[in-house]
Chains A and B, each alone.
Chain A
Amino acid sequence: MQKRTLLDGPKFQITIKRLCHQLIENHTDFSNTVLIGIQPRGSYFADRVQQELSAVLPESKIRKGNLDITFFRDDFRRKDGLVSASSNSIDFIIEGKNVVLIDDVLWTGRTIRAALDALLAFGRPAKVELMVLIDRRFSRHVPIEADYTGQEVDSVDSQLVRVTWKEVDGEDRVILLSDRNK
Protein backbone atom coordinates (compact mmCIF):
# COMPACT_ATOMS: atom_id res chain seq x y z
CA MET A 1 0.00 0.00 0.00
CA GLN A 2 1.44 3.37 -1.05
CA LYS A 3 0.67 6.50 0.94
CA ARG A 4 0.82 10.07 -0.28
CA THR A 5 -0.04 13.02 1.93
CA LEU A 6 -2.40 15.47 0.26
CA LEU A 7 -2.90 17.90 3.12
CA ASP A 8 -1.48 18.30 6.61
CA GLY A 9 0.07 20.75 9.07
CA PRO A 10 -0.63 24.49 8.66
CA LYS A 11 -2.11 24.01 5.19
CA PHE A 12 -4.82 21.78 6.66
CA GLN A 13 -5.77 24.48 9.20
CA ILE A 14 -5.69 27.25 6.58
CA THR A 15 -8.00 25.23 4.34
CA ILE A 16 -10.57 24.88 7.10
CA LYS A 17 -10.30 28.58 7.97
CA ARG A 18 -10.80 29.51 4.33
CA LEU A 19 -13.89 27.31 4.05
CA CYS A 20 -15.34 28.91 7.18
CA HIS A 21 -14.79 32.41 5.83
CA GLN A 22 -16.50 31.43 2.60
CA LEU A 23 -19.46 30.25 4.69
CA ILE A 24 -19.55 33.56 6.57
CA GLU A 25 -19.58 35.48 3.25
CA ASN A 26 -22.80 33.70 2.28
CA HIS A 27 -24.51 33.22 5.63
CA THR A 28 -23.40 36.30 7.64
CA ASP A 29 -24.52 35.62 11.24
CA PHE A 30 -25.89 32.07 10.83
CA SER A 31 -29.26 33.02 12.35
CA ASN A 32 -31.11 30.88 9.80
CA THR A 33 -28.30 28.49 8.88
CA VAL A 34 -27.49 25.10 10.39
CA LEU A 35 -24.57 22.74 9.88
CA ILE A 36 -25.25 19.04 9.34
CA GLY A 37 -22.35 16.57 9.45
CA ILE A 38 -22.82 13.27 7.67
CA GLN A 39 -22.14 10.30 9.95
CA PRO A 40 -19.71 8.98 10.82
CA ARG A 41 -16.70 10.91 9.53
CA GLY A 42 -18.33 14.05 8.21
CA SER A 43 -19.42 14.85 11.76
CA TYR A 44 -15.78 15.37 12.85
CA PHE A 45 -15.33 17.91 10.06
CA ALA A 46 -18.60 19.60 11.02
CA ASP A 47 -17.42 19.81 14.66
CA ARG A 48 -14.28 21.57 13.49
CA VAL A 49 -16.21 23.99 11.30
CA GLN A 50 -18.54 24.76 14.21
CA GLN A 51 -15.58 25.49 16.53
CA GLU A 52 -13.90 27.68 13.95
CA LEU A 53 -17.08 29.64 13.18
CA SER A 54 -17.82 30.10 16.88
CA ALA A 55 -14.31 31.54 17.35
CA VAL A 56 -14.73 34.01 14.49
CA LEU A 57 -18.33 34.91 15.36
CA PRO A 58 -18.53 34.76 19.18
CA GLU A 59 -21.92 36.55 19.14
CA SER A 60 -23.61 33.95 16.94
CA LYS A 61 -24.97 30.60 17.98
CA ILE A 62 -23.74 28.06 15.43
CA ARG A 63 -26.13 25.11 15.37
CA LYS A 64 -24.83 21.74 14.30
CA GLY A 65 -26.35 18.28 13.96
CA ASN A 66 -25.32 14.84 12.76
CA LEU A 67 -27.18 12.93 10.08
CA ASP A 68 -26.97 9.19 9.54
CA ILE A 69 -27.73 7.98 6.03
CA THR A 70 -27.44 4.20 6.47
CA PHE A 71 -31.12 3.46 5.89
CA PHE A 72 -31.18 5.67 2.80
CA ARG A 73 -28.22 4.11 0.98
CA ASP A 74 -28.82 2.80 -2.53
CA ASP A 75 -26.43 -0.16 -2.15
CA PHE A 76 -28.29 -2.01 0.63
CA ARG A 77 -28.31 -5.75 -0.25
CA ARG A 78 -25.92 -5.02 -3.10
CA LYS A 79 -22.77 -4.64 -1.08
CA ASP A 80 -21.64 -6.49 2.04
CA GLY A 81 -21.16 -4.80 5.38
CA LEU A 82 -22.30 -1.29 6.24
CA VAL A 83 -25.61 -2.33 7.75
CA SER A 84 -25.23 -0.88 11.21
CA ALA A 85 -26.09 2.75 11.60
CA SER A 86 -24.69 5.67 13.59
CA SER A 87 -26.91 8.00 15.54
CA ASN A 88 -28.83 10.98 14.27
CA SER A 89 -28.67 14.02 16.49
CA ILE A 90 -30.55 16.98 15.14
CA ASP A 91 -32.11 18.93 17.98
CA PHE A 92 -33.44 21.84 15.95
CA ILE A 93 -36.08 22.29 13.25
CA ILE A 94 -34.81 21.97 9.68
CA GLU A 95 -37.98 23.33 8.08
CA GLY A 96 -37.18 26.61 6.33
CA LYS A 97 -33.49 26.63 7.33
CA ASN A 98 -30.43 27.00 5.15
CA VAL A 99 -28.63 23.71 5.61
CA VAL A 100 -24.93 23.22 5.00
CA LEU A 101 -24.27 19.49 4.56
CA ILE A 102 -20.73 18.64 5.56
CA ASP A 103 -18.73 15.56 4.63
CA ASP A 104 -15.03 14.80 4.48
CA VAL A 105 -14.72 13.32 0.98
CA LEU A 106 -16.95 13.73 -2.08
CA TRP A 107 -16.41 10.78 -4.40
CA THR A 108 -19.28 9.14 -6.33
CA GLY A 109 -21.88 11.53 -4.90
CA ARG A 110 -24.10 8.64 -3.79
CA THR A 111 -23.66 9.42 -0.10
CA ILE A 112 -24.83 12.98 -0.69
CA ARG A 113 -27.81 11.74 -2.71
CA ALA A 114 -28.77 9.54 0.24
CA ALA A 115 -28.15 12.41 2.65
CA LEU A 116 -30.56 14.65 0.72
CA ASP A 117 -33.22 11.95 1.09
CA ALA A 118 -32.44 11.44 4.77
CA LEU A 119 -32.52 15.18 5.40
CA LEU A 120 -36.01 15.56 3.95
CA ALA A 121 -37.33 13.18 6.63
CA PHE A 122 -36.63 15.99 9.11
CA GLY A 123 -38.50 18.69 7.18
CA ARG A 124 -38.17 20.91 4.11
CA PRO A 125 -35.08 23.10 4.22
CA ALA A 126 -35.11 26.45 2.42
CA LYS A 127 -31.79 25.67 0.79
CA VAL A 128 -29.17 22.96 0.98
CA GLU A 129 -25.47 23.50 0.28
CA LEU A 130 -22.62 21.04 0.34
CA MET A 131 -19.18 21.49 1.89
CA VAL A 132 -16.44 18.90 1.50
CA LEU A 133 -12.80 18.87 2.50
CA ILE A 134 -11.72 16.75 -0.46
CA ASP A 135 -13.38 16.53 -3.86
CA ARG A 136 -12.31 13.48 -5.88
CA ARG A 137 -13.28 15.10 -9.13
CA PHE A 138 -14.17 13.29 -12.39
CA SER A 139 -15.51 10.27 -10.47
CA ARG A 140 -19.15 11.17 -9.94
CA HIS A 141 -21.99 8.66 -10.47
CA VAL A 142 -24.73 11.25 -9.95
CA PRO A 143 -24.92 14.94 -10.87
CA ILE A 144 -23.89 16.39 -7.50
CA GLU A 145 -21.24 19.06 -6.89
CA ALA A 146 -19.96 20.78 -3.77
CA ASP A 147 -20.50 24.49 -3.03
CA TYR A 148 -17.41 24.72 -0.84
CA THR A 149 -14.35 22.55 -1.54
CA GLY A 150 -11.15 22.28 0.49
CA GLN A 151 -9.05 20.66 -2.17
CA GLU A 152 -9.66 18.90 -5.46
CA VAL A 153 -7.91 15.61 -6.08
CA ASP A 154 -7.46 13.51 -9.19
CA SER A 155 -7.64 9.85 -8.30
CA VAL A 156 -8.65 6.48 -9.71
CA ASP A 157 -11.24 4.10 -8.30
CA SER A 158 -8.75 1.71 -6.71
CA GLN A 159 -7.29 4.51 -4.61
CA LEU A 160 -8.69 5.59 -1.27
CA VAL A 161 -8.70 9.06 0.27
CA ARG A 162 -8.54 8.99 4.05
CA VAL A 163 -9.06 12.06 6.26
CA THR A 164 -7.83 11.74 9.85
CA TRP A 165 -8.74 14.14 12.68
CA LYS A 166 -6.70 15.13 15.69
CA GLU A 167 -9.61 14.44 18.10
CA VAL A 168 -10.20 10.86 17.00
CA ASP A 169 -7.14 9.70 15.06
CA GLY A 170 -4.43 11.81 16.70
CA GLU A 171 -3.50 13.86 13.66
CA ASP A 172 -5.05 16.28 11.12
CA ARG A 173 -4.15 14.89 7.77
CA VAL A 174 -5.44 13.80 4.36
CA ILE A 175 -3.75 10.85 2.70
CA LEU A 176 -4.16 9.12 -0.64
CA LEU A 177 -3.73 5.35 -0.38
CA SER A 178 -3.00 3.35 -3.51
CA ASP A 179 -2.56 -0.33 -3.89
CA ARG A 180 0.59 -0.93 -5.96
CA ASN A 181 -0.78 -4.18 -7.38
CA LYS A 182 -3.71 -2.48 -9.04
Chain B
Amino acid sequence: MAAEKLSTRHLLGIKDINRNDIELIFETADNFKGVINRPIKKVPSLRDITIANIFFENSTRTKLSFELAEKRLSADVLNFAASSSSVSKGETLIDTVNNILSMKVDMVVMRHPYAGAGVFLSRHINAQIVNAGDGAHEHPTQALLDAFSIREKLGDVAGKKVVIVGDILHSRVAISNILCLQMLGAEVMVCGPTTLIPRHIHELGVKVEHNLRKALNWCDVANMLRIQLERQDIKYFPSQREYAMMYGLNKEILDSLDKEILVMHPGPINRGVEITSDVADSKQSIILDQVENGVAVRMAVLYLLAAQRD
Protein backbone atom coordinates (compact mmCIF):
# COMPACT_ATOMS: atom_id res chain seq x y z
CA MET B 1 0.00 0.00 0.00
CA ALA B 2 1.50 3.33 -1.04
CA ALA B 3 1.45 6.47 1.07
CA GLU B 4 -1.73 8.55 1.25
CA LYS B 5 -0.17 11.74 -0.10
CA LEU B 6 2.93 13.05 -1.84
CA SER B 7 5.89 14.29 0.19
CA THR B 8 6.24 17.39 -1.98
CA ARG B 9 4.21 20.40 -3.11
CA HIS B 10 5.95 20.69 -6.48
CA LEU B 11 7.28 18.16 -8.96
CA LEU B 12 10.64 19.65 -9.87
CA GLY B 13 12.67 16.52 -10.40
CA ILE B 14 12.86 12.84 -9.53
CA LYS B 15 15.58 13.61 -7.03
CA ASP B 16 13.10 15.58 -4.92
CA ILE B 17 10.63 12.72 -4.51
CA ASN B 18 10.91 9.29 -2.90
CA ARG B 19 9.88 5.75 -3.67
CA ASN B 20 6.56 6.04 -1.82
CA ASP B 21 5.68 9.04 -3.94
CA ILE B 22 6.43 7.12 -7.12
CA GLU B 23 4.32 4.16 -6.00
CA LEU B 24 1.42 6.43 -5.09
CA ILE B 25 1.68 8.10 -8.50
CA PHE B 26 1.67 4.68 -10.23
CA GLU B 27 -1.34 3.39 -8.29
CA THR B 28 -3.25 6.57 -9.04
CA ALA B 29 -2.20 6.40 -12.70
CA ASP B 30 -3.63 2.85 -12.87
CA ASN B 31 -7.00 4.33 -11.92
CA PHE B 32 -6.70 7.14 -14.43
CA LYS B 33 -5.76 4.71 -17.18
CA GLY B 34 -9.17 3.15 -16.51
CA VAL B 35 -10.79 6.58 -16.71
CA ILE B 36 -9.26 7.47 -20.10
CA ASN B 37 -10.44 4.19 -21.59
CA ARG B 38 -14.10 4.73 -20.67
CA PRO B 39 -16.82 6.13 -22.92
CA ILE B 40 -16.72 9.36 -20.90
CA LYS B 41 -13.04 10.03 -20.30
CA LYS B 42 -13.34 12.77 -17.76
CA VAL B 43 -13.54 13.22 -14.00
CA PRO B 44 -14.46 16.43 -12.19
CA SER B 45 -11.67 16.41 -9.57
CA LEU B 46 -9.82 19.59 -10.59
CA ARG B 47 -12.84 21.62 -11.69
CA ASP B 48 -11.90 24.53 -9.40
CA ILE B 49 -8.23 24.62 -10.47
CA THR B 50 -6.57 26.66 -13.19
CA ILE B 51 -3.33 25.41 -14.70
CA ALA B 52 -0.98 27.39 -16.93
CA ASN B 53 1.21 25.50 -19.37
CA ILE B 54 4.22 27.70 -19.95
CA PHE B 55 6.54 26.41 -22.65
CA PHE B 56 9.73 28.34 -23.30
CA GLU B 57 10.88 25.55 -25.59
CA ASN B 58 9.16 23.61 -28.34
CA SER B 59 7.20 20.47 -27.49
CA THR B 60 4.50 18.39 -29.10
CA ARG B 61 3.97 15.31 -26.98
CA THR B 62 4.60 16.71 -23.52
CA LYS B 63 2.48 19.77 -24.13
CA LEU B 64 -0.44 17.87 -25.65
CA SER B 65 -0.16 15.21 -22.98
CA PHE B 66 -0.25 17.72 -20.12
CA GLU B 67 -3.07 19.64 -21.73
CA LEU B 68 -5.11 16.50 -22.25
CA ALA B 69 -4.41 15.32 -18.69
CA GLU B 70 -5.57 18.69 -17.35
CA LYS B 71 -8.73 18.62 -19.43
CA ARG B 72 -9.53 15.04 -18.44
CA LEU B 73 -9.38 16.24 -14.82
CA SER B 74 -11.71 19.16 -15.65
CA ALA B 75 -9.13 21.86 -14.85
CA ASP B 76 -9.18 25.19 -16.67
CA VAL B 77 -6.16 25.42 -18.94
CA LEU B 78 -4.08 28.40 -20.09
CA ASN B 79 -1.52 27.80 -22.80
CA PHE B 80 1.48 29.96 -23.27
CA ALA B 81 4.28 29.55 -25.78
CA ALA B 82 7.30 31.81 -25.37
CA SER B 83 7.85 32.11 -29.10
CA SER B 84 4.57 33.98 -29.58
CA SER B 85 4.68 36.07 -26.39
CA SER B 86 6.20 39.16 -24.80
CA VAL B 87 9.22 37.14 -23.70
CA SER B 88 10.65 37.99 -27.09
CA LYS B 89 10.22 41.65 -26.11
CA GLY B 90 12.53 41.18 -23.12
CA GLU B 91 10.19 40.29 -20.22
CA THR B 92 11.88 38.31 -17.41
CA LEU B 93 10.76 34.84 -16.31
CA ILE B 94 9.43 36.03 -12.95
CA ASP B 95 7.55 38.94 -14.50
CA THR B 96 6.00 36.71 -17.11
CA VAL B 97 4.90 34.14 -14.58
CA ASN B 98 3.70 36.68 -12.03
CA ASN B 99 1.54 38.26 -14.67
CA ILE B 100 0.04 34.91 -15.43
CA LEU B 101 -0.46 34.20 -11.74
CA SER B 102 -2.33 37.47 -11.18
CA MET B 103 -4.92 35.90 -13.41
CA LYS B 104 -5.42 33.47 -10.46
CA VAL B 105 -3.60 30.40 -11.67
CA ASP B 106 -3.06 27.59 -9.14
CA MET B 107 -0.49 25.48 -10.90
CA VAL B 108 2.22 26.06 -13.48
CA VAL B 109 3.54 23.40 -15.84
CA MET B 110 6.78 24.75 -17.24
CA ARG B 111 9.36 23.77 -19.81
CA HIS B 112 12.44 25.93 -20.00
CA PRO B 113 15.82 25.71 -21.79
CA TYR B 114 17.76 26.45 -18.57
CA ALA B 115 18.45 23.83 -15.91
CA GLY B 116 16.92 24.77 -12.56
CA ALA B 117 14.30 27.16 -13.97
CA GLY B 118 11.55 25.24 -12.13
CA VAL B 119 13.39 25.31 -8.81
CA PHE B 120 14.05 29.04 -9.24
CA LEU B 121 10.39 29.69 -9.93
CA SER B 122 9.17 27.60 -7.00
CA ARG B 123 11.19 29.82 -4.64
CA HIS B 124 9.74 33.04 -5.96
CA ILE B 125 6.10 32.42 -6.67
CA ASN B 126 3.23 30.93 -4.80
CA ALA B 127 1.80 28.48 -7.34
CA GLN B 128 2.64 24.79 -7.52
CA ILE B 129 5.23 23.99 -10.19
CA VAL B 130 5.45 20.93 -12.38
CA ASN B 131 8.70 20.68 -14.30
CA ALA B 132 8.03 19.60 -17.89
CA GLY B 133 11.74 19.64 -18.74
CA ASP B 134 14.43 22.14 -17.74
CA GLY B 135 17.47 22.26 -20.01
CA ALA B 136 19.63 19.17 -19.70
CA HIS B 137 18.59 18.73 -16.06
CA GLU B 138 15.37 16.78 -15.41
CA HIS B 139 12.15 15.71 -17.08
CA PRO B 140 10.40 13.95 -14.21
CA THR B 141 7.06 13.09 -15.81
CA GLN B 142 8.83 11.42 -18.75
CA ALA B 143 10.83 9.25 -16.34
CA LEU B 144 7.67 8.36 -14.44
CA LEU B 145 5.78 7.35 -17.55
CA ASP B 146 8.75 5.34 -18.81
CA ALA B 147 8.99 3.43 -15.55
CA PHE B 148 5.19 3.05 -15.47
CA SER B 149 5.28 1.55 -18.99
CA ILE B 150 8.03 -0.90 -17.99
CA ARG B 151 6.01 -1.88 -14.90
CA GLU B 152 2.94 -2.38 -17.08
CA LYS B 153 4.73 -4.59 -19.62
CA LEU B 154 7.10 -6.54 -17.36
CA GLY B 155 5.08 -6.58 -14.13
CA ASP B 156 7.69 -4.84 -12.03
CA VAL B 157 10.61 -2.46 -12.43
CA ALA B 158 12.72 -3.94 -9.62
CA GLY B 159 15.46 -6.25 -10.86
CA LYS B 160 15.03 -5.29 -14.51
CA LYS B 161 17.99 -4.20 -16.62
CA VAL B 162 17.50 -1.02 -18.60
CA VAL B 163 19.95 0.47 -21.06
CA ILE B 164 19.65 4.11 -22.12
CA VAL B 165 21.25 4.59 -25.52
CA GLY B 166 22.37 7.78 -27.21
CA ASP B 167 22.93 11.38 -26.29
CA ILE B 168 23.22 11.08 -22.52
CA LEU B 169 25.19 14.32 -22.25
CA HIS B 170 22.37 16.60 -23.37
CA SER B 171 19.50 14.51 -22.11
CA ARG B 172 17.21 15.44 -19.25
CA VAL B 173 15.26 12.26 -19.94
CA ALA B 174 18.38 10.19 -19.21
CA ILE B 175 19.08 11.78 -15.82
CA SER B 176 15.47 11.55 -14.61
CA ASN B 177 15.21 7.99 -15.93
CA ILE B 178 18.39 6.87 -14.16
CA LEU B 179 17.24 8.32 -10.83
CA CYS B 180 13.71 6.95 -11.14
CA LEU B 181 14.67 3.45 -12.29
CA GLN B 182 17.33 3.11 -9.61
CA MET B 183 14.89 4.24 -6.93
CA LEU B 184 12.54 1.47 -8.06
CA GLY B 185 15.32 -1.14 -7.94
CA ALA B 186 16.29 -1.52 -11.60
CA GLU B 187 19.85 -1.77 -12.92
CA VAL B 188 20.73 0.95 -15.37
CA MET B 189 23.38 1.12 -18.10
CA VAL B 190 24.14 4.00 -20.44
CA CYS B 191 25.48 3.40 -23.93
CA GLY B 192 26.75 5.79 -26.57
CA PRO B 193 29.87 7.30 -28.11
CA THR B 194 32.38 8.50 -25.49
CA THR B 195 31.76 12.11 -26.49
CA LEU B 196 28.09 11.87 -25.53
CA ILE B 197 28.55 10.10 -22.18
CA PRO B 198 29.20 12.52 -19.28
CA ARG B 199 32.61 11.79 -17.76
CA HIS B 200 31.51 11.16 -14.17
CA ILE B 201 28.23 9.40 -14.89
CA HIS B 202 29.39 6.15 -13.25
CA GLU B 203 29.18 7.98 -9.92
CA LEU B 204 25.40 7.74 -10.27
CA GLY B 205 25.87 3.99 -10.05
CA VAL B 206 25.21 3.21 -13.70
CA LYS B 207 27.19 0.91 -15.94
CA VAL B 208 28.84 2.45 -19.00
CA GLU B 209 29.13 0.57 -22.30
CA HIS B 210 30.25 1.83 -25.68
CA ASN B 211 29.27 -1.23 -27.70
CA LEU B 212 25.58 -1.27 -28.60
CA ARG B 213 25.40 -5.04 -29.22
CA LYS B 214 26.91 -5.84 -25.81
CA ALA B 215 24.54 -3.41 -24.14
CA LEU B 216 21.50 -4.93 -25.86
CA ASN B 217 22.56 -8.45 -24.94
CA TRP B 218 22.70 -7.38 -21.29
CA CYS B 219 19.38 -5.57 -21.03
CA ASP B 220 15.63 -6.30 -20.75
CA VAL B 221 14.64 -2.85 -21.96
CA ALA B 222 16.37 -0.46 -24.35
CA ASN B 223 15.42 3.21 -24.17
CA MET B 224 16.67 4.87 -27.36
CA LEU B 225 17.21 8.61 -26.99
CA ARG B 226 17.12 11.20 -29.72
CA ILE B 227 20.31 12.93 -30.78
CA GLN B 228 19.67 16.47 -29.59
CA LEU B 229 21.25 18.38 -32.46
CA GLU B 230 19.72 21.63 -31.22
CA ARG B 231 21.73 21.42 -27.99
CA GLN B 232 25.01 20.38 -29.59
CA ASP B 233 27.29 23.35 -29.98
CA ILE B 234 30.23 21.32 -31.33
CA LYS B 235 30.48 18.12 -33.37
CA TYR B 236 30.31 15.09 -31.10
CA PHE B 237 30.46 12.49 -33.87
CA PRO B 238 31.52 12.62 -37.51
CA SER B 239 28.12 12.22 -39.17
CA GLN B 240 24.55 11.10 -38.49
CA ARG B 241 25.14 8.24 -40.87
CA GLU B 242 28.10 7.01 -38.84
CA TYR B 243 26.12 7.42 -35.61
CA ALA B 244 23.29 5.36 -37.09
CA MET B 245 25.74 2.63 -38.08
CA MET B 246 27.32 2.42 -34.62
CA TYR B 247 24.41 3.21 -32.29
CA GLY B 248 21.24 2.96 -34.35
CA LEU B 249 18.87 0.16 -33.41
CA ASN B 250 17.82 -1.85 -36.46
CA LYS B 251 15.85 -5.05 -37.02
CA GLU B 252 18.98 -7.08 -37.74
CA ILE B 253 20.58 -6.42 -34.32
CA LEU B 254 17.24 -6.82 -32.56
CA ASP B 255 16.60 -10.22 -34.18
CA SER B 256 20.14 -11.44 -33.48
CA LEU B 257 19.68 -11.10 -29.70
CA ASP B 258 18.92 -14.30 -27.80
CA LYS B 259 15.91 -12.73 -26.02
CA GLU B 260 13.09 -10.33 -26.80
CA ILE B 261 13.74 -6.91 -25.34
CA LEU B 262 11.34 -3.99 -25.00
CA VAL B 263 12.17 -0.97 -27.13
CA MET B 264 11.27 2.50 -25.85
CA HIS B 265 11.74 5.99 -27.18
CA PRO B 266 10.66 9.24 -25.51
CA GLY B 267 10.03 10.90 -28.89
CA PRO B 268 10.34 12.71 -31.16
CA ILE B 269 11.91 9.94 -33.24
CA ASN B 270 14.55 10.60 -35.86
CA ARG B 271 13.70 7.57 -37.96
CA GLY B 272 16.79 6.03 -39.47
CA VAL B 273 19.15 7.66 -36.95
CA GLU B 274 18.76 6.22 -33.44
CA ILE B 275 16.10 3.74 -34.48
CA THR B 276 14.93 2.39 -37.83
CA SER B 277 11.30 2.51 -38.90
CA ASP B 278 10.78 -1.25 -38.79
CA VAL B 279 11.98 -1.36 -35.17
CA ALA B 280 9.94 1.68 -34.12
CA ASP B 281 6.81 0.06 -35.57
CA SER B 282 7.59 -3.49 -34.41
CA LYS B 283 5.79 -5.52 -31.76
CA GLN B 284 8.66 -5.05 -29.33
CA SER B 285 8.31 -1.28 -29.48
CA ILE B 286 6.12 0.26 -26.77
CA ILE B 287 6.57 3.83 -27.99
CA LEU B 288 2.85 4.47 -28.45
CA ASP B 289 2.01 2.83 -25.10
CA GLN B 290 4.39 5.33 -23.55
CA VAL B 291 2.37 8.16 -25.06
CA GLU B 292 -0.93 6.75 -23.75
CA ASN B 293 0.54 6.16 -20.31
CA GLY B 294 1.92 9.70 -20.37
CA VAL B 295 -1.59 11.09 -20.07
CA ALA B 296 -2.52 8.78 -17.17
CA VAL B 297 0.72 9.45 -15.28
CA ARG B 298 0.41 13.21 -15.73
CA MET B 299 -3.20 13.07 -14.53
CA ALA B 300 -1.96 11.28 -11.41
CA VAL B 301 0.78 13.85 -10.81
CA LEU B 302 -1.56 16.83 -11.21
CA TYR B 303 -4.30 15.21 -9.12
CA LEU B 304 -1.96 14.30 -6.27
CA LEU B 305 -0.27 17.71 -6.28
CA ALA B 306 -3.65 19.43 -6.22
CA ALA B 307 -4.54 17.38 -3.15
CA GLN B 308 -1.62 19.06 -1.31
CA ARG B 309 -3.43 22.01 0.13
CA ASP B 310 -1.56 25.07 1.45
Binding site for B on A (CB under 8 A): 68, 70-73, 76-77, 80-81, 83-85, 87-88, 117, 120-123
The answer to whether A71 touches B45 (Cβ under 8 A) is: yes
The answer to whether B4 touches A83 (Cβ under 8 A) is: yes
**From A70, A77, A120, contact of B31 by CB (8 A):** A70
The answer to whether B43 touches A72 (Cβ under 8 A) is: yes
A-B interface, 9 closest residue pairs, ranked by CB to CB distance from nearest:
A71-B43, A121-B40, A83-B307, A85-B31, A71-B45, A76-B45, A88-B34, A121-B38, A77-B309
Question: A77-B307, A87-B31 are known contacts. Are A120 and B40 too (CB-CB below 8 A)?
Answer: yes
- Contact-residue bracket for chain B: 20 to 34
Extra A-B contacts (5), CB below 8 Å, given A77-B306, A88-B31: A71-B35, A77-B307, A83-B28, A84-B4, A84-B27
Kindly state the separation between the CA atoms of A85 and B24 in the bound complex, as whole angstroms. 10
The answer to whether A121 touches B42 (Cβ under 8 A) is: yes
The answer to whether B307 touches A76 (Cβ under 8 A) is: yes
Chain A residues in 8 Å Cβ range of B306: 76-77
Kindly state the separation between the CA atoms of A71 and B303 in the bound complex, as whole angstroms. 9
1/0 per residue, CB under 8 A from A, across B270-306: the answer is 0000000000000000000000000000000001101
Tell me whether B241 is interfacial, beta carbon within 8 Å. no
Question: A121-B43, A123-B39 are known contacts. Are A87 and B4 too (CB-CB below 8 A)?
Answer: no
Q: Return A45 CB to nearest CB of chain B, in Å.
A: 22
The residue in chain A whose Cβ has the minimal distance to the Cβ of B106 is A77
The residue in chain A whose Cβ has the minimal distance to the Cβ of B48 is A77
Tell me whether B257 is interfacial, beta carbon within 8 Å. no
Q: Return A120 CB to nearest CB of chain B, in Å.
A: 7
The answer to whether B44 touches A117 (Cβ under 8 A) is: yes
The answer to whether B44 touches A71 (Cβ under 8 A) is: yes
Q: Return B228 CB to nearest CB of chain A, in Å.
A: 36
Tell me whether B2 is interfacial, beta carbon within 8 Å. yes
Chain B residues in 8 Å Cβ range of A83: 4-5, 28, 303-304, 307
